[in-house]
Structure 1
Amino acid sequence: MHQEAEEAARAVARLLDRHGALIAELGAALRAAPPSLVVSCARGSSDHAATYGKYLIETMIGIPVASAAPSVSSVYAAPVRAEGGLCIAISQSGRSPDLLATVRAHKAGGARVIALVNDAEAPLAALADTLIPLEAGPERSVAATKSFITALAALAALVAAWADDAALRSALNDLPTDLARAWARDWSSLADLLVPARNLFVVGRGLGFGIAQEAALKLKETCGLHAEAFSAAEVRHGPMAIVDERFPVVAFAGSDAAGDDVRAVAAEFAGRGAPVSLIDARRDGAGDPPTSAAHPAIEPLLMIQSFYRMANGLALARGFDPDAPRHLAKVTRTL
């Protein structure tokens, strides 16, 4: 896990170098003939990438994005009416049966299919109208890391091209260098907070909510921690009642307006005595744990890259093998 996560900067550089022209062409085509609706299809970490993509597309393009329920196709075998729609399928392996069934149903229903997949020889790649290989390279660790970050980068590049947004395109040019810097960040204070923990919340909002989901998953599967991800808005609707001085909260706050709400809820939890770790892009390297200010769409990638290094060390400190979580396999063949 440590080695593969550290490779993310180089993997993103490969992705943008090899497929930047394809992504630019795809973005222009979508701008010329926009879909009426976007549906994402993914599981696990890839579904967290889809959450990030939802906020990017809805805030920068303005088209609604929904998440497909795979059992509609794989269990109920219900037909899908998707004329004029766009299906974005995201997967590291591209082999889960329910994912493939869902993509086939949307394609049969008239949707255009874009596949972001790490294994370009996988069945999912063959179903795509447009394939964007993630170029992460082999991942031997069960916990996905570099393939998650390349999925985020591919989505950011697609939306930058689709929206014709010069600021995001410029930020993507700097992304490999920024990821390398993020990997070197010292997040040991967060590891120290979580070594004795049993339960915690991970909070984000907007563009940062997907990485809150991803961080909570990694804490479960690699560190044996019961971590639940919440939006900074949703956590106020009941869940905060269980937070006290023994219940840690990890909060990811970007520099945008959604980050303001994360900062506010983190301050509220801290005021009630909860141990809070606030990762705050507004502090631009001066916080603890430190993270960098960047384009708001890029900050989540830098945060999760620093988090992965911390999570690997935390797993070892808690006596777990981060490369081989109990009861899990690399490819989850859900039906």
Structure 2
Amino acid sequence: MAEEALEAPAKASEQLARNAGLMREAGKRLRDLSPPFAATLARGSSDQAAAFAKFLLETHVAMPTLSHAPSIGSLYRKTSPRFDGVPLIAISQSGRSPDLLAAAADARRQGAVIVAVVNDAASPLAHLAQIVIPVHAGPETSVAATKSFVCTLVALTHLAAEWSGDEALLAALETTGAVLEQAAQANWTSAVPLLRDARTMLVLGRGPTLPIAGEAALKLKETSGIHAEAFSSAEVAHGPMRLIGAGDPVLVLAPNDVAREGLVERLAEFAERGANLVVAGLEAELVPTATVLPSPRDVHPVLGAIAQIQSFYGLAEALARARGLDPDHPPHLNKVTRTL
């Protein structure tokens, strides 16, 4: 897991170069298509990437985006005929999960334009799609996806930038390798003592970092057996905050855009309850009682969010080891989940 995570910055840079022409063509095709909405299709870590795609498409492309549950097409056979001409972004590291394949095939029969974002460009999902976007992460053997997830986020950002023609986002992508390398070298292990004995915890994000919080919570479950749940920092007061008391850990992945509004005040409420705050993306003086983790400064908010998950993987691996667990072979899990 640790070795593969450290490969992500170079793999992402390679991907951006190899996919440059493909992405320009895909962006133009999607602009010309001018769909009324877009949809995503994914499970597991890929579904967190799909949530990131939704954020990107709605904020940068002004494209309403829904999450199409795989079981709707694969199990219930209820795909809407209104998918005609709608891009369905199917995200899968392996491209082999039976339910995703069945749902994508059903949606294509209903007229959807399948956009496959896959690590294996020779996979059945890639063969099914009209547009194939390889993430070029290379072989990944750890059950816990790391470099494939980071590369998928970069690919989705590249697609959104070309689709929208967002010059600022396109320019930011040129710095991807350097930003991710800085993030890969950031040491988050100061949080290990606070999380080593945790059984439950919250992971907070908002805007571009909410899907990152979702992926972090999933990895904490997978690799460390911690019942971690992700929430928006804007929504956490609607019930989940009741669960936090003295000594309870809260991991906060602060966004670097307008979504951070009100975050410092919300964290002060957690601090008053005695929570152990672990915070990335905020200056230490804003959260004086928290353990503050290093994050790249002065970067585009989208890249800043991707950088946070890059740094988090080092923490997740170290935390699992500190708990006496093997993050590469978590019990009851497989690399390809064959949901029917």
If the length of structure 2 is used for normalisation, what is the TM-score? 0.95
CA-CA distance at 1:95 after TM superposition: 0.6
Specify the alignment match of 2:318 in structure 1.
313
Specify the alignment match of 1:218 in structure 2.
219
Specify the alignment match of 1:41 in structure 2.
41
Write out aligned runs for 1:78-97 (5 A).
78-81=78-81, 82-97=83-98
Distance 2:79 2:91 in 1: 21
Specify the alignment match of 2:199 in structure 1.
198
Specify the alignment match of 1:102 in structure 2.
103
Counterpart AA for 1:118: N
Distance 1:333 1:264 in 2: 43
Specify the alignment match of 1:50 in structure 2.
50
Counterpart AA for 1:248: P
DSSP-derived class of the 2:175 partner: helix
CA-CA distance at 1:264 after TM superposition: 3.3
Distance 1:173 1:282 in 2: 26
Cα distance change, pair 120–281 in 1 and its aligned pair in 2 (3 A): farther
Once the two structures are superposed, residues 127-176 of structure 1 have per-residue CA deviations (whole angstroms, 9 ceiling, x without a partner) of 11010111000000000000000110001001111111111111111101
CA-CA distance at 1:255 after TM superposition: 1.4
Structure 2 residue 81 is the aligned partner of structure 1 residue 76: no
Structure 2 gaps of 5+ residues are none
Specify the alignment match of 2:15 in structure 1.
15
DSSP-derived class of the 1:234 partner: coil
Specify the alignment match of 2:174 in structure 1.
173
Structure 1 contact 201–230 (Cα < 8 Å) conserved? yes
CA-CA distance at 1:281 after TM superposition: 5.1
Structure 1 contact 281–292 (Cα < 8 Å) conserved? no
CA-CA distance at 1:15 after TM superposition: 0.9
Distance 1:262 1:215 in 2: 19
DSSP-derived class of the 1:89 partner: strand
Counterpart AA for 1:134: V
Structure 1 contact 203–209 (Cα < 8 Å) conserved? yes
CA-CA distance at 1:259 after TM superposition: 2.0
Once the two structures are superposed, residues 26-82 of structure 1 have per-residue CA deviations (whole angstroms, 9 ceiling, x without a partner) of 112222332111110000000000111101110111111000111112211224311
Distance 1:209 1:105 in 2: 30
Match for residue 304 of structure 2 among 274, 299, 303 = 299
Once the two structures are superposed, residues 230-271 of structure 1 have per-residue CA deviations (whole angstroms, 9 ceiling, x without a partner) of 111221111110100132111111111112244332222112
Structure 2 residue 148 is the aligned partner of structure 1 residue 144: no
Specify the alignment match of 2:328 in structure 1.
323
Distance 1:195 1:59 in 2: 37
Specify the alignment match of 2:24 in structure 1.
24
Distance 1:267 1:255 in 2: 19
Write out aligned runs for 1:213-252 (5 A).
213-252=214-253
Match for residue 289 of structure 1 among 283, 290, 293 = 293
Counterpart AA for 1:251: V
Structure 1 gaps of 5+ residues are none
Once the two structures are superposed, residues 86-130 of structure 1 have per-residue CA deviations (whole angstroms, 9 ceiling, x without a partner) of 100000011111111111111111111110000111100001101
4+ residue segments displaced more than 3 Å: 261-264
Distance 1:228 1:50 in 2: 18
Counterpart AA for 1:276: L
Instruction: Point out the more displaced range, 73-82 or 148-157.
Output: 73-82
Structure 1 contact 252–259 (Cα < 8 Å) conserved? no
Structure 2 residue 128 is the aligned partner of structure 1 residue 127: yes
Identity %: 48
Distance 1:175 1:281 in 2: 21
Distance 2:111 2:166 in 1: 29
Counterpart AA for 1:327: H
What do you get for the CA RMSD once the two structures are aligned? 1.6
Specify the alignment match of 1:184 in structure 2.
185
Instruction: Point out the more displaced range, 264-273 or 137-146.
Output: 264-273
DSSP-derived class of the 1:98 partner: helix
Structure 1 contact 251–262 (Cα < 8 Å) conserved? no
CA-CA distance at 1:282 after TM superposition: 5.9
